[in-house]
């Protein structure tokens, strides 16, 4: 559920600081996670009618995101495959995502599953908390150009929810908190604008399973890139009536 930062590099130079992303620390265990999810999804697909169109199968899988996440955890999802980056006094940190399953290789189902790795706010701000660019531990405030859903796998995710106040300006409405196995679904049936991040001790990143309504990671990223101007927001109406502009600078 982030329209930007689908970058698989581990670090990049940003305004004189080093931006370091959460990372895969064990490729073999990441590959095992991919196999576990593939096994689960094959069984889920087998339970559906063979003559159902791929779009209906995609809807069914998306709506079962919490069940799929529970199964993945029960089968032994290797959370230790992913970790926070090593930081120093000149570092700021960003979250990251990694592909687990692409529907183009499985009956051409228009879905892609990704695991997101979220550093805690406390961990991200332990260095350079005053840096105005140090916001990459949280997603942008965004809506979705394609259907999506997520469920927490490790840690606690916080979701700030927003509504449109006026043209390109949003206001906060409420916060949801998701523990392991809990999540949310956006089928594009109604306006949905949110921001995700995590808190906590910072010793371990939070992990979440996300599914998007296109059949490859490349197509998902291209969709988000192409619609970024429409689906991200950087002006928030405060309770005092003042509009706060956030994230005036970006990675690009």
**11 band by pLDDT with thresholds 50, 70 and 90:** very low
Share of the chain above pLDDT 70, in %: 91
Helix (H) or strand (E) holding 112: strand 112-118
Domains delineated in the chain: 11-245 (2.60.120.10)
Question: Which pTM value belongs to this model?
Answer: 0.91
Residue 83 CB neighbour total at 10 angstroms:
16
Distance CA 183, CA 181 (A): 7
What are the tens digits of pLDDT across the range 141-176? 999 999 999 999 999 999 999 999 999 999 999 999
Candidates 64, 66, 75, 70; CA nearest to 39 is 75
Q: How many CA atoms lie within 13 A of 197 on its CB side?
A: 23
| CA 146 to chain CA centroid, nearest Å | 14
Q: Please check the confidence at residue 56 and state whether its pLDDT lies above 70.
A: yes
């Amino acid at each position: 559920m982030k329209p930007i930062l689908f970058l698989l590099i581990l670090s990049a130079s940003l305004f004189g600081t080093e931006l370091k992303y959460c990372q895969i620390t064990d490729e073999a265990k990441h590959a095992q996670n991919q196999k576990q999810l593939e096994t689960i999804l094959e069984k889920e697909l087998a339970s559906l009618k063979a003559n159902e169109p791929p779009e209906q199968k995609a809807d069914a899988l998306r709506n079962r995101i919490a069940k799929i996440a529970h199964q993945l955890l029960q089968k032994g999802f290797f959370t230790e495959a992913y970790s926070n980056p090593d930081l120093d006094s000149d570092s700021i940190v960003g979250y990251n995502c990694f592909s687990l399953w692409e529907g183009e290789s499985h009956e051409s189902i228009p879905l892609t599953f990704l695991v997101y790795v979220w550093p805690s706010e406390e961990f991200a701000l332990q260095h350079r908390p005053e840096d105005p660019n140090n916001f990459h531990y949280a997603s942008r405030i965004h809506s979705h150009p394609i259907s999506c859903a997520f469920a927490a796998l490790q840690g606690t995710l916080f979701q700030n929810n927003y509504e449109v106040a006026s043209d390109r300006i949003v206001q906060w409405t409420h916060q949801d908190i998701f523990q392991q196995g809990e999540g949310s679904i956006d089928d594009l049936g109604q306006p949905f604008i949110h921001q995700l991040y995590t808190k906590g001790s910072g010793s371990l990143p939070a992990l979440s399973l996300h599914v998007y309504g296109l059949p490859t990671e490349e197509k998902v990223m291209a969709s988000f890139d192409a619609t970024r101007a429409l689906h991200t927001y950087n002006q928030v109406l405060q309770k005092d009536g003042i509009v706060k502009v956030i994230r005036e600078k970006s990675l690009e």
